[in-house]
């Protein structure tokens, strides 16, 4: 007979009924555009708390981000762009309309990246490079457009379990540093307020 601890782990790591599974799918696809909708713990061994972005100069960045994977530098947090921009597979020669309408969404992304020798948090979004004649867009033309950055949290300024998350605006302010900052190409945008929420 499984122990209580095993049952607790099973409840945390499995979606046990169809309704919770559907809610988790909607949540992963970003169908809840605000942070007030109930959330379902998505069964994966990744950080479970959400990251809330508000007051960004580019409104596509505002919303709730979930940890959806990792790269060589740490965890990656994403949310679909709004309005729901999709990845277009390609344009046909005869049509100006995309040939694939069930393509996955383009995302906004929090990830750690190197800037020279320094590792920083960056906030970016997936965009397409379109040919000059605007007749062809291919999947491999998908790039990340970086807009904002912040330093990594220090061990003095945050608790160990929050080190995996993007640096919170309140934590950066308490440490006496500038909060999230714009890159040279996005100085016309207001930087976002970033907080980790339950």
Burial class (CB in 10 A: 0-12, 13-18, 19+), 8: exposed
Taking only the tens of pLDDT, the chain with its 198 residues reads 456 666 665 666 566 677 777 777 776 666 655 555 566 666 656 788 899 999 999 999 999 999 888 888 989 999 988 766 666 544 444 444 444 445 567 899 999 999 988 999 999 999 877 655 555 555 557 789 999 999 887 666 667 777 788 888 887 777 667 789 999 999 999 999 999 998
Tell me the domain boundaries of the chain. 1-45, 47-197
Residue 55 contacts residue 192 (beta carbons within 8 Å): yes
């Amino acid at each position: 007979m499984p122990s209580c601890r095993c049952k607790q782990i099973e409840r945390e790591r499995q979606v046990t009924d169809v309704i919770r599974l559907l809610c988790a799918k909607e949540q992963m696809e970003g169908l809840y555009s605000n942070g007030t909708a109930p959330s379902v713990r998505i069964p994966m061994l990744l950080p479970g708390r959400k990251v809330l972005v508000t007051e960004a100069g580019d409104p596509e960045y505002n919303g709730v981000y979930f940890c959806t994977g990792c790269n060589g530098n740490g965890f990656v947090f994403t949310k679909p762009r709004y309005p729901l921009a999709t990845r277009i597979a390609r344009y046909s020669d005869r049509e100006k309309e995309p040939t694939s309408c069930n393509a996955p969404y383009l995302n906004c992304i929090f990830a750690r990246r190197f800037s020279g020798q320094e590792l920083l948090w960056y906030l970016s979004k997936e965009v397409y490079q379109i040919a000059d004649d605007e007749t062809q867009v291919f999947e491999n033309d998908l790039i990340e457009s970086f807009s904002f950055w912040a330093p990594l949290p220090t061990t003095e300024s945050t608790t160990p379990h929050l080190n995996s998350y993007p640096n919170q605006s309140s934590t950066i302010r308490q440490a006496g540093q500038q909060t999230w900052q714009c890159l040279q190409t996005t100085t016309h945008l207001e930087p976002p307020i970033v907080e980790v929420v339950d």
